[in-house]
Chains A and B, each alone.
Chain A
């Protein structure tokens, strides 16, 4: 009985985690300019170009994009 109860509580806790992620329509703040990893895209592109040239690692710092998850 006790084991069943523990299992149920664990399952309920798991379902709770499933409800936590920010939903697609709640990403307005994440999409704000000041939430970007690189607020200035031109500066970021120039820095990346320099980095790739020095290290020979094109694309190694990741793909472009903001936090809104659009597309």
Chain B
């Protein structure tokens, strides 16, 4: 009976793996949209990083990406960075969107969605605020312009907390 209970627990544990605040952010090594060299999350160690998952077909994402650009302008490059991961299954759709709405921060492509799966996204868009040590400190699902103020407070706190 114990064996059956254990097997059941294992089976169901496999389906619940969301990245919650306090957990290390899953690493990634992904190509950019502009055929530059691939970028890893580890390259940003020492900075507070906002990892944002978007897609061209997701209307809140279209709203969030330019606002994130303005948010980034509030911080020194050594303190804060944004990594936007495009999840369009057809990379051409993501590229067309970026041509129409250029974004100045790092934009990576993950058409296979394996990194989205590693983070276990619960909705689109989803963003994860990662501290200087690579630990997820906040998670946001969905987007409204009011979220920028919340994010700013969280980033301010993290930037000040472990200043290099």
Query: B-contacting residues of A (Cβ < 8 Å)?
Result: 4, 7-8, 11-12, 14-15, 18-19, 23-28, 31-32, 68-71
- Tell me how far the C-beta of A32 lies from the nearest C-beta in chain B, rounded to whole angstroms: 7
- Closest A residue to B53 by beta carbon equals A25
- Tell me how far the C-beta of A33 lies from the nearest C-beta in chain B, rounded to whole angstroms: 10
Check A27–B124 contact: CB distance below 8 A.
Answer: yes
Q: Which residues of A contact B117 (CB under 8 A)?
A: 23
* A25-B55, A28-B93, A31-B58 known; A70+B8 contact, CB < 8 A: no
- Closest A residue to B125 by beta carbon equals A70
Q: Is B60 an interface residue (CB 8 A)?
A: yes
- Closest A residue to B61 by beta carbon equals A70
Which of the residues B8, B60, B116 comes within 8 Å of A23, measured between beta carbons? B116
Q: Which residues of A contact B14 (CB under 8 A)?
A: 15
